[in-house]
Every structure is written in structure tokens, then in C-alpha cells.
Structure 1
Amino acid sequence: MKKRLTILIIGLLCISTALHATDIKINSVRELAEYASKSGNVITMAPGVYRLTDYLTIDSMWGRHERNEFSYITFSGNNNVFHLEGVEIEVDTKLRTALKPPIHSDEFLITGSDNTFNGLTLRCKGEGTSPGGTVLQVAGKGNTLNDITLYVAGSFPYGYGDLFGKGKAKETVIRHKKHSGLLVTGSDTKLYRCKLYNRSFGHCFFVQRNAENVYFEDCYAEGVVRSTDDILAETSGPAYDVNFRTWTKNREGKYVVTPGYMKSLCEDGFRTYGPIKNIHFKNCTAKNTRAGFELRTNTGVRLENCTTIGTERAYWVGDDAVLKNCKGDANYGPLLFVEGSNVDVELIVDSAESDRLVHALVTVQGANNLVVLKSAQGKRRKKELPILIGYTHPMHGESMSPFDEGETIGLQLRNETGMPIKIGPKASNCEIITDGKVIGNEGKQIKIKQI
């Protein structure tokens, strides 16, 4: 009874807050920053293109640095609705250079809870760089983002993806100044129809710090791809200066950029770090990103009707992941890496092909996994790519690097793609139904049935 009364009181307070919300009309970034720290309002901003430098000048950045004010605008208020349809804020990346913030600081930060943001566009411009932060972080609880669009730029070097390292790793050849898009660290965050166009080395959408109950629907992440042949044709610049030395070895055991591959110039479209519980993706798409969905958290992830296009690797999942009616291509790299156990995967293989080197369609390791692979209706790949059972992903996921062997127990695989299957010596007690040929079987107690 006491619990029900508490819930009733909370509900009445929420209704009261909504009824007493104040309607505010604004037409400047300064006013937006002012109401960002207040609560219980409905703020509508006049449509238009606004320059952040009209509110924060380059000259003011040192003072903000001295005061440890590394966010341009912090939305610390609660229970607000921001109507920002048709509003675009131009963010001069030179501001970040002048501010000299610490690594992993954010430009726009949502720390308040139970807010709704509708329609804002943030566009990075200029030649400045970030030391490793994000354009927008959602840190508060229970926030909803609708139709938010980010155009991300401002990293160094840009044009090589992760060929020369990712950051502070000891193997890194070129130290990066990364600039990522949208980070979620707050639980119960919901994102609908959000789009991110990444022209920077950094992630598009990513989730960290034990956030729970995060939901993405109809969201889109897009990067740019570049061939390694084009990179090797450079006669000056960062890659040339290090003799094209990479941080991972290629299939010949050499640490050098190898022709024939395609690289994404950004990091992942959708990424998780750490034990993220109950994260759900529905109708989301990643195009030309490094990984489409790299969701290696071991606490369960669900994807429905998601799509990848032209990624270096499409889906990469850990324990208890569920993928239903998802699809993707192996145009520039593998469609799927399974490294966990108890996954339930249903993937449709798009028929798109290119002249780039790709060495596998799928790799599977782990225990008690269920994987179903289908072809797009009426369309099948022509070039054969092996499905590797009992093999790991290559080092750092890099397509130029070799695969290793990995223990695989109790796999149930149904292959309706016509692609061949190779079974390694560390695979055992697996059941395979396939319409493709088996090009090698070193496993133990492997049951194979041809369709």
C-alpha cells in the first residue's frame, strides 16, 4: 500500500510539473544557454542558423579554460521540453583548439533528467581539433532525443581510419586527436530518428559507464571510406612521414599499409563499452563506418531490423546478443564476428560486392550460439566468402590481419547463403545445416546436413 501511494504521489507531481510548465520563446544561443540550466519549461527557439561564436568568442576560451568550463552549453535542468526544429548551430572547431580542454570532455552536455529535445542540428566547421571529446553527451537519466542531427569534424589525423592506432595504446604509430559524435552515459535514454554524419576519426553513437535501458530507433550513422591504394599513393603527410607503418600486422606478418583494402575514416557507427544492460536497437542503419554495430558488452543486446552498408565489419557481438531480421553486406569486410556465448543471430546477407579484399563472411567462437544466415530474396553473392567456425576475429578487427583459432562448442548454424564453411580444430559438438559446401572440417563431433 505504501509503495502504491509513493508511486501515485510521484505521478501527481509529474502531472503538476507538466501543467505548470512555462512556454518560453527564444531566438539566440545565449538564451538557449540560459534556459538550459532551468527546469519545468517548454522552450521554443526560432528556426534559423546560429553561430556559436556569436555567443562564445575565440578570445573568451582561455577564461573558460581557467574556470574549468569545458562544455559550451550544459543542459542541467530537469523536466524541460526543447522545441528546436529548424535550428542549426554552427560550431567552429577552432573554439576547441583555443579552449584546450582535457581529453574526453564534451562540447554540449546534458546532465539534467527527464528532458525532451526535438529537432536540433549541430554542425562542426573549420580546421580546429579536439583532444578526444564528443560533440554531445547525454549523461542525465530519462532524456529523450528526437530528430537530432550531428555533422562531426575536427580530428587529427583524418583520412586513414585506425591504420596507425586508436589513441594511447603503446602500439600506436601516430597519436590521434579524436573527435566523436554522440555519447550516452545516462540510463533510460531514448533516441528516435537521430542522424550522425561523421567526417572525423571518432565514434558516431556510443554508450559507456554502465548506462542501462538505452533505446535507439530509426537512427542513422554515416562515415566515409577510402581505399588503401589511395592512401599509399600519398607523397607527403602523416602516413608518408611514418613510411606507412601500421599498428597491426598484415597477413604476411608485416606492419605496413597493404593495398587492396577499404578503410572507414571514422570509428564505429554504434558502439558499447562495459556492462551496458538492456540496450535495444530498432530500424537503425550504419553506412561506411568502421564497424556498423560493435556491441561486445556481455550483458545482452537486442537488434531488430537493423542494416549495415559498406562497413569494414558489420556486426560484432558478445554474450547473449539477439539479432532479428537484420541485414548487411560483406562489401569491404566481414558481416559478423561472434565472440561470445548464447547469442541468437538471424542475418540476411546482402549481395553487394566490390573489388576490395575480404577474407571471410563470418567468424564464430564461443559456446551454445544459434546463427541463421539467409540471402536477400532472389539475390545471392557471387564471390565465395567462407564462414569460419572455430575462428576468432582478426587482431583489432583489422581486415588486413590474419584470423586465429578459437574454441567453439555447441554451435547451431543454418546457412542458406550458398557460401562455403570451414571448421577449425577447436570446434566441437556443433550442428550445421547448409546449402554451401564444406571446404574443411577439423572439428570434433560435427554434424553436417546438406539442404
Structure 2
Amino acid sequence: MKTNDIKMRRASWILALLALVWVLPASAIQEKKEVVEIATLDELKQYLPKSNVQVKLKPGNYQIDEAESIRFIRITGNNAHYDLNGVRFMVDTKLFSRPDLAKSDDGNSMYCAIEISGNDVTLEGLYIETYGHTPGRQSKNKIFNLVGENVTLKNVEVRTAGSSPWGYGSLYGLGGGDVRKMNGIRVGYPAKNVKVIGCTVHMRAMGHAIFLQGAENTLIEDCHVDGLLRTTDAILAETSGYAFDKDFYAGKGGYVEGTLIRDDGKIMPGEIISLSEDGIRMYPEYKGHKTLNTTVKNCTVTQMRRGICTGLSTSGDKVINCVVRDCVATGYNVGNGDTLINCSADAKYAEAFCVPYLNAKNAYVEMNILDSRGGIANDLLAKINGKGHQVKITTADDQYIPEEMSIRLAVWEGYGNFNKKAKMHAINITLDNQTNTRVLLFPEANSNDIQSVGAVKKVKSK
């Protein structure tokens, strides 16, 4: 081979190599970070503010009963990976009542066990549990607070305890009041592109399991939430305790998050409550920063107040292949522009789903009704208000739906509307009801396209 040919070929190789390097992402050509293996919490804390680290904590049980600030563990470094597979953190609830801990500089006074404020951070494999029954100083206590960009929380298991008073759900303390909560996972402003993947939250305290406040582009996938239910009959049978001391009067009367209370506030028999709040919930904003573009995929929620609540956000969120069972306020709370694809719920204790808001437009809902027999205190299968929605309701077996249940349009009943005199409307709704359940059209249900196996009936307002 001639010298010039060799030089030309070598030049071609160099150009090809440069082109390859140019198109490869930086992460593909960087040297792999060395995994640092550690065996104590003190060692772990040394790495939390560092960037470009990959840390593996030795499997085992670790006690968290001391802290310097109201965020007990703070991950502030960027581009970091924490492998906590096989690790169990036991967090003493006494920390949530410590007034001497340093406050945060973000204007939010909440206490939390772990905060991730760094960017491009992954934490995986941890089991974390609170223990003890010391009530916190506030109702905003949390296990996780995720506020960084490109944060991934993966295969983490959370078990909450430590709210007070425990055992009465939303009957006391809505909006603060007497209740001291212990929430699960918060994703909040300025969080962007956060992923919560394969996480499980066991709610054994009052609070939300997974919730968003001002976060953008959040993905919640393969996550599972479970809570506990209790009948009002069990509460009324108490011979001591918080409700007994109040002569079984709740904080207020009427409809309280899925439970009917006598108008004078007296707890009634025959009702059921969730001891926690919502499974997966979007708040509309945080200090003026809107919650935007959330996707919830392949998740399950069982025995919570509301199952999956996207309706309070107005950005149009997506819920895909999710299952909700045994919730007491509603299975799915659907709002403006939301899309629910291949979702399922029962209606044992509350409607399987609702689109309650009069200003909600153009939601799309595919809902499969699960076995709803054997429930109490509910005869509402679904509730639809607003304009322009497309709704498809199916079931694998018509016997799953009790005969007394109905689908109702333009109605105040159920979750989301608390004024019985309010003027509801349901306009330009396309409903494909493939079940035998009756469809009841209240007076302000107009210009709708109803296809239904079950009877369709116009009714007067109650």
C-alpha cells in the first residue's frame, strides 16, 4: 500500500472516531465513577454534599435519632448515585417535635427525614420507617422531600407512623386543626423531571402517600400505596380516646371527605373512613408555581381517602394502566384536560371516579369497574360535571355493580362539591356506558351524547 494511501486511510479513521465522539453523550465517554462502599451513617453524611459520587451503604439497620436541622438527611450534591439496597432506616418520631433543630433557608418550615435538593441524583433500594407515637410540631411532616431536577427515587419502601390523633382520618383537623400528619413522598417546586419508580408507601399515619406541589414533568411509575379503613361503628364503640372525649362530635358536619356526618357534627353509624388522606395527589401550585405535566403509570392505590387525584391540577395530567380499590371519597378525581387510559376502580365505598368541577373541560376517561359488591354507604358509581368530556365505562361482569348504583351527570353528590344549592352542569359529554348501570341526567345535563346499555333517565334535582 502506498504511503499516501495509508495517510489518507489513517486520516479517515481519525475523522470517523472524532465524529463518533461528537455524537456520543458525555456520560458515554466519561470514566465510570468509582463506587465508594461505606458502613456507617456518619460516612454517608460526608458524601451527601459532594457531587460526582457513587456511594453504596452496607446493608443493615440504621437508627436515625439525631439531627442538626429539620431536614434530617440532606442530599445537596449533583450527579450522584446512592445505592441503599438492603438498607433499613428507622427514624424516631421525636425528631419531628424538636424545636432546637436548625430551620431551612427555603422558606418552608416543614420537617422531613430525607431531602434531595441536588440535581441528577438517584437514590434506590431503601426501606425507611418512622417509629414511635410522638406527634410532630406541625401537620406538614414528611419522609421524603424531592426538590431537585432530574431526581430519581427508585425501589424505595416507606412506612409511616407518628400522626396524632390516630384512628379518625379526616374527621378532625382538616386544614391544620389538631391533626399532626406524617406524609410519605413530596415532589415540590423547584423540582423538574423527577421520577418516582417502583416505590411502595404503607400509610399508617394521617397524610398523603405521594403528592406534588409546583413540580413539573413528574413521572410516577410502578408505585403502590396502601392505607387502612375504619367504620364509624368502630369509633362509636370506643370507651376512651380522642373521639370519646369529644362525645363523638367531629370537627364539622355534613360531607367530610367521603364520610357523612350529622349536620350538628355528630358522628353517625354506618359510615366508613380512611385513616389517611390521598394515595397520589397533585396540588395546583406552590407559592405561585403551577404543578404541570404529571404522568402516573402502572400504579395501584388501596384503602385511601382518594385514590389518584389529578383533578386539583389544571394542566391536563395522564394516568395510564392504574388500579384503585376501596377508597372512601373517590377512586379517581379527574379534572381539566386529564387523560385516563385503561384505568380500573371499584365503587364499594365511593364513586369509582368523578369529574366534579364545573370548570373542567375535555377530560378523557376509560374506566373499568371492578367488583363493587359488599361495600357500604355508597350508591354512586360515577359522577360527571363540566363540559366536553369523553367517557367510556366498562366492566368484566355486570354482577360486579350493585343494582342500586347509578352514573350521574350534573349533580353535587359525592366528592368535589359541598354546596347542595349550587347549580351544576354537564354539557357536551360523550358517554359510552357499556354496563347495565342506570344513567341519571339531572336538569342541567344538556346537549350530551349518551350511549348506554343501562337505562337513561332524566330526573329532578334532589
Q: 1:327 Cα shift?
A: 0.1
Question: Compared with structure 1, are the counterparts of its residues 368 and 12 closer, same or farther at alpha carbon in structure 2 (3 Å cutoff)?
Answer: closer
Could you tell which deviates more after superposition, 228-237 or 247-256?
A: 247-256
2:364 to 344, 347, 350: 344
Q: Which residue of 1 aligns with 2:80?
A: 80
Contact 1:272 1:294 in 2 (8 A): yes
Question: Compared with structure 1, are the counterparts of its residues 403 and 14 closer, same or farther at alpha carbon in structure 2 (3 Å cutoff)?
Answer: farther
2:249 to 245, 248, 256: 245
Q: Which whole-Å CA distance do the structure 1 matches of 2:456 and 2:87 have between them? A: 56
Q: Which whole-Å CA distance do the structure 1 matches of 2:338 and 2:398 have between them? A: 28
Could you tell which deviates more after superposition, 278-287 or 18-27?
A: 18-27
Q: Which whole-Å CA distance do the structure 1 matches of 2:153 and 2:321 have between them? A: 20
Contact 1:167 1:175 in 2 (8 A): no
2:227 to 223, 226, 232: 223
The one-letter code of the counterpart of 2:384 is V
Q: Which residue of 2 aligns with 1:447?
A: none
Contact 2:383 2:414 in 1 (8 A): no
Q: 1:265 Cα shift?
A: 0.2
- Per-residue deviation, residues 67-125 of structure 1 (Å, max 9, x unmatched): xx211110001111111111111111122223466853322100001011110111111
Q: Which whole-Å CA distance do the structure 2 matches of 1:404 and 1:229 have between them? A: 31
Q: Which residue of 2 aligns with 1:96?
A: 96
Q: Which residue of 2 aligns with 1:19?
A: 31
Q: 1:248 Cα shift?
A: 3.6
Q: 1:207 Cα shift?
A: 0.5
- SS of the residue aligned with 1:361? strand
Residues 1:140 and 2:137 are matched in the alignment: no
Q: Which residue of 2 aligns with 1:31?
A: 43
Provide runs of 4+ in structure 1 moved above 6 Å. 8-11
Q: Which whole-Å CA distance do the structure 2 matches of 1:72 and 1:258 have between them? A: 41
Q: Which whole-Å CA distance do the structure 1 matches of 2:145 and 2:234 have between them? A: 34
Structure-2-length-normalised TM-score: 0.84
The one-letter code of the counterpart of 1:117 is L
The one-letter code of the counterpart of 1:336 is F
Q: 1:26 Cα shift?
A: 0.7
Residues 1:293 and 2:303 are matched in the alignment: no
Q: Which whole-Å CA distance do the structure 2 matches of 1:70 and 1:272 have between them? A: 24
1:259 to 246, 252, 269: 269
Question: Compared with structure 1, are the counterparts of its residues 397 and 419 closer, same or farther at alpha carbon in structure 2 (3 Å cutoff)?
Answer: same
Q: 1:241 Cα shift?
A: 2.2
Could you tell which deviates more after superposition, 198-207 or 358-367?
A: 358-367
Contact 1:394 1:402 in 2 (8 A): no
Q: Unaligned stretches of 5+ in structure 1? A: 1-7, 169-173, 444-451
Residues 1:310 and 2:326 are matched in the alignment: yes
2:430 to 412, 418, 438: 412
Contact 2:398 2:435 in 1 (8 A): no
Contact 1:50 1:88 in 2 (8 A): yes
Q: Which residue of 1 aligns with 2:15?
A: none
- Per-residue deviation, residues 11-31 of structure 1 (Å, max 9, x unmatched): 765456x52523210111121
Contact 2:379 2:404 in 1 (8 A): no
Q: Which whole-Å CA distance do the structure 2 matches of 1:403 and 1:150 have between them? A: 42
1:23-172 to 2 correspondences below 5 Å? 23-53=35-65, 56=66, 64=68, 69-99=69-99, 104-130=110-136, 131=138, 132-168=140-176
Q: Which whole-Å CA distance do the structure 1 matches of 2:414 and 2:261 have between them? A: 10
Contact 2:307 2:324 in 1 (8 A): yes
Question: Compared with structure 1, are the counterparts of its residues 435 and 442 closer, same or farther at alpha carbon in structure 2 (3 Å cutoff)?
Answer: same
Task: Please tell me whether Structure 1 or Structure 2 has the larger radius of gyration of its CA atoms.
Answer: 2
Percent of pairs with identical residues: 28
Q: Which whole-Å CA distance do the structure 1 matches of 2:381 and 2:421 have between them? A: 12
Q: 1:224 Cα shift?
A: 0.4
Contact 1:393 1:404 in 2 (8 A): no
Q: 1:292 Cα shift?
A: 0.3
- SS of the residue aligned with 1:156? coil
Question: Compared with structure 1, are the counterparts of its residues 80 and 20 closer, same or farther at alpha carbon in structure 2 (3 Å cutoff)?
Answer: same
Residues 1:202 and 2:207 are matched in the alignment: yes
Q: Which residue of 2 aligns with 1:335?
A: 352
What is the RMSD computed on CA atoms of the aligned residues?
A: 2.3
Contact 2:409 2:425 in 1 (8 A): no
The one-letter code of the counterpart of 1:43 is V
- SS of the residue aligned with 1:162? helix
Q: Unaligned stretches of 5+ in structure 2? A: 1-20, 104-108, 255-259, 285-289
The one-letter code of the counterpart of 2:435 is T
Q: Which residue of 1 aligns with 2:296?
A: 281
The one-letter code of the counterpart of 1:76 is T
- What is the count of residue pairs matched by the alignment? 415
- SS of the residue aligned with 1:216? strand
Q: Which whole-Å CA distance do the structure 2 matches of 1:149 and 1:417 have between them? A: 37
Q: 1:333 Cα shift?
A: 1.1
Q: Which whole-Å CA distance do the structure 1 matches of 2:197 and 2:120 have between them? A: 15
Q: Which residue of 2 aligns with 1:425?
A: 443
Q: Which residue of 1 aligns with 2:13?
A: none
Contact 1:21 1:40 in 2 (8 A): yes
Q: 1:243 Cα shift?
A: 2.5
Structure-1-length-normalised TM-score: 0.86
- SS of the residue aligned with 2:43? helix
Q: 1:252 Cα shift?
A: 6.0
Q: Which whole-Å CA distance do the structure 1 matches of 2:374 and 2:168 have between them? A: 20
Q: 1:10 Cα shift?
A: 12
Q: 1:164 Cα shift?
A: 2.1
Q: 1:378 Cα shift?
A: 6.9
Q: Which whole-Å CA distance do the structure 2 matches of 1:254 and 1:438 have between them? A: 36
- SS of the residue aligned with 2:233? helix
1:359-398 to 2 correspondences below 5 Å? 359-376=379-396, 380-394=400-414
